[in-house]
A and B are shown apart, each in its own frame.
Chain A
Amino acid sequence: MASRLLKKISNNVWEVPADAVQGMRVPARFYSSDKLIADLDEKAIEQAVNVATLPGIKKYSIAMPDAHWGYGFPIGGVAAFDPDENGIITVGGIGFDVNCGVRLIATNLDEEDVRPKIRQVMDSLFEGVPAGLGSEGLHLSQSELNEVMVEGARWVVRKGYGWERDLNHIEEGGMIEGADPSNVSKRAKEREANQIGSLGSGNHYLEVQVVDEVYDEDAAKAYGIRKGQVVIMVHTGSRAMGHQIGMDYIEEMAPAMKKYGIQVKDKELVSVPFNSPEGRKYFSAMNVAMNIAWANREMITYYARQAFAKAFSSSPESLGMELVYDVGHNTGKLELHEVDGKTKKLVVHRKGSTRALGPGRPELPPEYREAGQPVLIGGSMGTFSYVLKGTTKGMEETFGSAVHGAGRKMSRTQAKKEYRGEELAKELERRGMLIRGHSWSGLAEEAPDAYKDVTDVVAAIHDAGIALMVAKLRPLGTVKG
């Protein structure tokens, strides 16, 4: 049993030492509370140990308090690899939903302004924002799609759907360099052609929330949020583009891995050196999916701004619908980090972990640089969400990475047995939260009790000092994907 190998290092930190399992190059480190560590999957521990065996890994293989059994990396797994020391890149550390992430949009309304009209607001959003399996957004020609693949959210802004200043509040300005559409299959491009501006399904959603509590007034002020304010959260990713690129490259990398003599404990961890033709090729294709996800969330923001403003017979501008921030939690990025007193360029894999840069980082817009990066944590349906801020300690210990959400504790099949979608929607409505969705069974799978308590998860990462609580958000209504 892998859990027997766990040693408590300090409050909220556990490790499997590097000498505990043959092949480990670094310790596997788990950020968690006493309560959450007791429930941690054996399989998630094994997966974090497997990641610790990969070539070029630095410091630790890290698992966040919301970690659970995934494929390849655990969900909630973080690892950084040094390309100068044969460090690898792996599809299993990023996943199929590349740059799945969260964005938060402000409004200048209070709960009292929205509550009386909530039905109208949710109906308008449900009608205006494409959601569910098979949902379609913009219909693009292949040449237009090629532009989006390179320009990301910038393309959406250039076409007049987004606001120029939105780009300052998106990770990488909504467009990452080095995305090469020629490394993306025809199939991926064909599948994505109608999907920019669609939520998809599963745990993806758009939620109208109210700022329920502010813990850090200075940071909240910098981010433009205040107690009682209504905000909108969007959770989705790169849709078919990311899925197909994942499928294509996991298959393409397997023979290359043999060539480089890399052995992995789990086929889902198929890896190649970052500095190899195959590694560079995957990176450039994966960056296409990064851009697609930012474009997707920017386009959804257009639909959401229109639909929300319509319900108030107003305009998005007069409702103050500014973008607070947009950040991914399934990503692979080249970033500068300190290792053994030296600044190194590392390939940081975050699979179900939100980037959480500390104060002073040049990647942050000037208005957020003092506070640190807004870290957006989407709760499960019917529960709280949180805004945190990145810290210097997080930069030192977790490569500037934090939790991404509640993390499941009950399987989808089990949730469907225990809950009925219709009843759940009624129960949530009694508790003041409206649900709009395309599938009752999908709703049952997202039952609040199928997830770990997001409050515990956030408290664990806060207590560890990796990311600190700024505000708590309470849902008023959800459009479930």
Chain B
Amino acid sequence: MNMKYEVYPHTADAGVRGIGDTVSEAFEGAAMATFSIMADIERVKPETAISVELSAGSLEDLLVKWLNELISLSSLKGIVFSKFEVDVDEGKVSLKATAWGQSMKDVPLQEEVKAATYADLKVEKTGDRWVAQCIVDV
């Protein structure tokens, strides 16, 4: 595992980016970046697990769908996620994943992320590293 994540600047909102050796790792990183806006995820305990299965027409669409599903589940269940295991099937353009997190009531919270957008959306391999990124609405 050689994954990195970051929140990058955008005037009104914020960009989330995951970088990894595989597309699955890059998707995990993009999710980490998203939830790092909501809380200090290094201090969020991975106590509760949720499974996700999704498919889409392209890897880019799959990334937006993945982040939106997590944002939506987080608000629905009142959980901040902090750990992700993703298995992307590039051929089928689908993914199976598990997200772990802790109740919002037990975590100091920062800013809400409203949705992932198609703006600045990229899922691509540069050299031997995968990058998955988009702008999120905060």
Which A residues fall within an 8 A CB radius of B? 41, 68-72, 75, 95-97, 132-134, 187, 190-191, 200-202, 240, 243-244, 246-247, 250-251, 254, 266-268, 270, 408-414, 438-439, 441-442, 445
How far does the Cβ of B93 sit from chain A's closest Cβ, in whole Å?
A: 14
A-B pairs with lowest CB-CB distance, top 4 = A411-B9, A71-B119, A267-B118, A134-B104
The closest CB in chain B to the CB of A270 belongs to B118
Whether B104 lies near A95 (C-beta < 8 A) is: no
How far does the Cβ of A94 sit from chain B's closest Cβ, in whole Å?
A: 12
Which of B21-29, B41-49, B72-80, B123-131 lies at the interface with chain A? B72-80
- B114 in complex: contacting residue of A97, A411, A412, CB < 8 Å: A97
Whether A411 lies near B11 (C-beta < 8 A) is: yes
Residues of A within 8 A of B108 (CB): 439
Known: A240-B75, A441-B110, A442-B110; 16 extra A-B contacts, CB below 8 A, are A69-B12, A95-B137, A96-B137, A132-B109, A133-B104, A133-B109, A133-B112, A134-B112, A191-B76, A202-B112, A247-B115, A268-B117, A408-B12, A410-B11, A412-B111, A414-B9
**Bound Cα distance from A240 to B77, whole angstroms:** 12
**Bound Cα distance from A254 to B117, whole angstroms:** 13
- A442 in complex: contacting residue of B9, B14, B111, CB < 8 Å: B111
Whether A190 lies near B76 (C-beta < 8 A) is: yes
* A266-B118 contact in complex given A133-B38, A191-B72, C-beta closer than 8 Å: yes
* A268-B12 contact in complex given A133-B104, A439-B110, C-beta closer than 8 Å: no
Residues of B within 8 A of A413 (CB): 7-9, 14
Confirm or deny: B138 has a beta carbon within 8 angstroms of a beta carbon on chain A: yes
Confirm or deny: B53 has a beta carbon within 8 angstroms of a beta carbon on chain A: no
**Bound Cα distance from A456 to B131, whole angstroms:** 39
* A438-B109 contact in complex given A268-B117, A411-B14, C-beta closer than 8 Å: yes
The closest CB in chain B to the CB of A193 belongs to B76
Whether A68 lies near B110 (C-beta < 8 A) is: no
Q: Please classify the interface of chain B as helix (H, G, I), strand (E, B), loop, or mixed, using the class held by over half of its residues.
A: mixed
Confirm or deny: B92 has a beta carbon within 8 angstroms of a beta carbon on chain A: no
Residues of B within 8 A of A134 (CB): 75, 78, 104-105, 109, 112
How far does the Cβ of A468 sit from chain B's closest Cβ, in whole Å?
A: 27
* A201-B112 contact in complex given A133-B104, A134-B104, C-beta closer than 8 Å: yes
Which B residues fall within an 8 A CB radius of A? 7-14, 38, 61, 65, 68, 71-72, 75-76, 78, 104-105, 108-112, 114-115, 117-119, 121, 135, 137-138
The closest CB in chain B to the CB of A439 belongs to B110
Whether B11 lies near A68 (C-beta < 8 A) is: yes
**Bound Cα distance from A240 to B61, whole angstroms:** 21
How far does the Cβ of A404 sit from chain B's closest Cβ, in whole Å?
A: 12
* A70-B12 contact in complex given A96-B137, A191-B72, A439-B108, C-beta closer than 8 Å: yes
Whether A201 lies near B111 (C-beta < 8 A) is: yes
Whether B114 lies near A68 (C-beta < 8 A) is: no
The closest CB in chain A to the CB of B119 belongs to A71
* A69-B11 contact in complex given A200-B112, A201-B112, A439-B108, C-beta closer than 8 Å: yes
Residues of A within 8 A of B75 (CB): 134, 191, 240, 243
* A409-B114 contact in complex given A133-B38, A133-B109, A187-B76, C-beta closer than 8 Å: no
Residues of A within 8 A of B112 (CB): 133-134, 200-202
What are 28 pairs between A and B in contact, CB < 8 Å? A41-B11, A68-B11, A68-B12, A69-B10, A69-B12, A71-B137, A97-B114, A133-B109, A134-B78, A134-B104, A187-B72, A187-B76, A191-B76, A202-B111, A202-B112, A240-B75, A243-B72, A243-B137, A244-B72, A246-B114, A251-B65, A266-B118, A270-B118, A408-B11, A411-B9, A412-B111, A413-B8, A445-B111
Whether B13 lies near A268 (C-beta < 8 A) is: no
How far does the Cβ of B88 sit from chain A's closest Cβ, in whole Å?
A: 18
How far does the Cβ of A57 sit from chain B's closest Cβ, in whole Å?
A: 21
Whether B137 lies near A97 (C-beta < 8 A) is: yes
The closest CB in chain A to the CB of B120 belongs to A71
**Bound Cα distance from A75 to B135, whole angstroms:** 14
Residues of A within 8 A of B11 (CB): 41, 68-69, 408-411
**Bound Cα distance from A240 to B68, whole angstroms:** 12
Residues of B within 8 A of A250 (CB): 118
